[in-house]
A = this chain, B = another copy of it.
């Protein structure tokens, strides 16, 4: 095992480390250090538990830490207040206290729910993120956004609550279905698109190595993604400004997910098509060149990611879903658009025709 990379999310008294490396769950030095509590509630799901739960439980037991394992059903559909109530029932039944710890072992759904429980159980207790999907490793495990869905929209109920540490073991990606790996790449591409053209170029040059799970290449892609996200979060924790840049592709992406009832598109896949739509809209607004739009499309396609949702989503259904998006400010829809690859900006000021043309180009 090569030495893990680490970086810090700088948030004064809520700062925390992110450790990235192959084998961090088996050579568990970092994990051993961060599991300091009397009890932990290990929150995971039916897919991940048989693969990795024992690794965490072993480390905890060696330290004399009591483990309460909570195995949730898999899937976005279970990311609900009902599941939160169930988890809290288990915590109460096991007399978890304010100084105990929650450990999230799984993808974004597990991390978002475990984080939200940590945010509101006893008005906030500590938690550790151990993300096991590429998407959660580069996005949802970092930055403290937690929450659950409501029939009216994604993550409509939630809290900002930073973890105590994030442990990213790149080896676990070997058990990840290829489709999920590809979906995770969309969020990685996003970081290049919004603020780092050289990272975007590097991605163009490393598609094959990334898909082959080449260790050092993967670790660099994840590290650079987390670094960019950590920098933005440190500047704007509660999304009053710049943090909204991280939503590039997400306004359209969420609409695709909402209209398809979170059933056929993976989040990353929807973000991929959403980024294409944001690029197309930037083109129609006049801030992005057709060459840059094509370059994004080409990279997405090399990862086998779709660039439209024509078959499943109509323009009208998407518009209706977007009107309920929580990023709507005083009734006005805001978009994250591009001035070029690596240069995103936020605007609520756009010709309606640019939006219409975008919907027409990518939706049914």
Q: Which residues of A pack against B, CB within 8 Å?
A: 38, 81, 84-85, 88-89, 92-93, 95, 97-99, 116, 119-124, 145, 147, 150-153, 155-160, 238, 323-324, 326-331
Flag if A99 contacts B329 (CB, 8 Å): yes
Q: Give the chain B neighbours of A156 by CB distance below 8 A.
A: 88, 92, 121-122
Flag if B150 contacts A97 (CB, 8 Å): no
Q: Give the chain B neighbours of A331 by CB distance below 8 A.
A: 38, 97
Interface of A is mostly: mixed
Selected contact of A97 from candidates B89, B97, B158, B326, CB within 8 Å? B326
A81-B85, A150-B88 given; A159·B120 CB < 8 A? yes
- The CA-CA distance from A92 to B151 in the complex, in Å, is 9
A97-B329, A159-B119, A328-B97 given; A92·B124 CB < 8 A? no
CB distance from A109 to the nearest CB of B (A): 17
Flag if A123 contacts B159 (CB, 8 Å): yes
- The CA-CA distance from A141 to B267 in the complex, in Å, is 39
- The CA-CA distance from A309 to B97 in the complex, in Å, is 27
Flag if B124 contacts A159 (CB, 8 Å): yes
Most buried by B among A92, A123, A156, A328: A123
A85-B81, A123-B145 given; A330·B157 CB < 8 A? no
